[in-house]
Amino acid sequence: MKSNILVTGAAGFIGFSLCRYLLEKGIKVVGFDNFNSYYDPILKRSRINLLEEISKQKSASFNMVEGNLQNASQLNKVFSDFQISKVYNLAAQAGVRFSLENPQAYIDSNIVGFCNILEACKKYEIENLIYASSSSVYGGNTNYPFQESQSVDHPISLYAATKRSNELMAHTYSHLYQIPATGLRFFTVYGPWGRPDMALFTFTKSILEKKPIHVFNNGQMIRDFTYIDDIVRSLYLLLFKPALPDKLFSKKDPNTSSSWASHRIFNIGNSKPTPLMEYIEAIEEELGIKAIKEFLPMQPGDVKVTSSNNDLLEKWIDFKPNTSIKDGVSQFVKWFRNYYKV
């Protein structure tokens, strides 16, 4: 009987955090990651080492496979060997700015790799596919807060375009092959074990080293910062709530968040948009150090505001992210000081 859960991107920030939660619940997990050098592979290895420690302590089943989503035969072997029943696809080439420098990496991982995931889900009759999309799909929209029913046909970065492509690809496979698939539009996830390329990590590191922090658009940015534990809790609950066809769906007046197929799209944010300068103040307060700020213009592909309407997700899983910025930043700084012995 198939019972293993596959988590791709298991060495990444969200993937690792989810694996940790699942193992503590006694769920059998198979991790898959290529440990690429987009950011410090040592941090990724440390995450996996911790997962292996937890699996021993909890007598839980954890198997880690190193490989690339682009390698279809390798991916299929994982599905076959471990009798995968459900899939979290959290592997992706992340980062809006990096997509301007290395677009091919996004096509390889986010398009080719995701197609291979879908093909494997079809072949092995997966019961539930949950995959990462992004708030970046809202592109140039300025109607806040963002709702899943809004048009997302105007991306402003290749990263965003690949994530929107994932949503369309997943819908197609749900329609053709009855694969229950749920896409999650993540809004600026942060917290312990976070990505070194993201603001909280870079700001904390620079402030402690008494180096300037880069504040884009002269600080006139607003983000719906979402704490990692809230993300993980939502992902866990979705494991038991696979997408279902929307019986009220109208092809004459289509709702972009649902379908006649077993495919759903949900925002997942904190629903409390925070000005960037307030976020920096929270970091300064926790560190007890004032940041040296270097104000810079807006970066290509970036957006000024993200704001999430979470109503659909809350109705679906009866849970709403609720961690405050103060508490979330505090937990990250404690982890950062401990991990880097600062």
Best CA proximity match to 34, nearest among 94, 86, 87:
94
pLDDT in tens, 148-206: 999 999 999 999 999 999 999 999 999 999 999 999 999 999 999 999 999 999 999 99
Residues 341, 295: Cα–Cα separation, whole Å: 29
Asked if residue 150 belongs to a domain, the reply is yes
pLDDT in tens, 77-106: 999 999 999 999 999 988 877 888 889 999
Asked if residue 286 belongs to a domain, the reply is no
- Domain range for 121: 4-194+226-272+306-322
Asked if residue 311 belongs to a domain, the reply is yes
pLDDT in tens, 253-286: 998 889 999 999 999 999 999 999 999 999 999 9
Report the catalytic residues: 159
Asked if residue 282 belongs to a domain, the reply is no
Residues 44, 275: Cα–Cα separation, whole Å: 30
Asked if residue 28 belongs to a domain, the reply is yes
Q: pLDDT confidence of 1, banded at 50, 70, 90?
A: very low
Mean pLDDT value across residues 132-138: 96
Mean pLDDT of the chain: 95
pLDDT in tens, 284-340: 999 999 999 999 999 888 889 999 999 999 999 999 999 999 999 999 999 999 999
Mean pLDDT value across residues 18-24: 97
| pLDDT for 291 | 97
Residues 200, 282: Cα–Cα separation, whole Å: 10
| pLDDT for 100 | 83
| pLDDT for 101 | 86
Q: Tell me, what CATH number does 76's domain have?
A: 3.40.50.720
For the chain, the straight-line distance linking the first and the last C-alpha, in angstroms and rounded, comes to 48
pTM score, whole prediction? 0.96
The answer on pLDDT for 2 being more than 80 is no
pLDDT in tens, 203-238: 999 999 999 999 999 999 999 999 999 999 999 999
Asked if residue 78 belongs to a domain, the reply is yes
Handedness of CA 15, 255, 158, 274 (dihedral sign): negative
Share of the chain above pLDDT 70, in %: 99
State the total domains in the chain. Answer: 1
Asked if residue 292 belongs to a domain, the reply is no
Cβ 7 vs Cβ 30: under 8 Å: yes
3-state secondary structure the chain: CCCEEEEECCCCHHHHHHHHHHHHCCCCEEEEECCCCCCCHHHHHHHHHHHHHHHHHCCCCEEEEECCCCCHHHHHHHHHHCCEEEEEECCCCCCCCHHHHCHHHHHHHHHHHHHHHHHHHHHCCCCEEEEEEEHHHHCCCCCCCECCCCCCCCCCCHHHHHHHHHHHHHHHHHHHHCCCEEEEEECCEECCCCCCCCHHHHHHHHHHCCCEEEEHHHHCCEECCEEHHHHHHHHHHHHCCCCCCCCCCCCCCCCCCCCCCCEEEEEECCCCCEEHHHHHHHHHHHHCCCCEEEECCCCCCCCCECCECCHHHHHHHCCCCCCCHHHHHHHHHHHHHHHCCC
Asked if residue 332 belongs to a domain, the reply is no
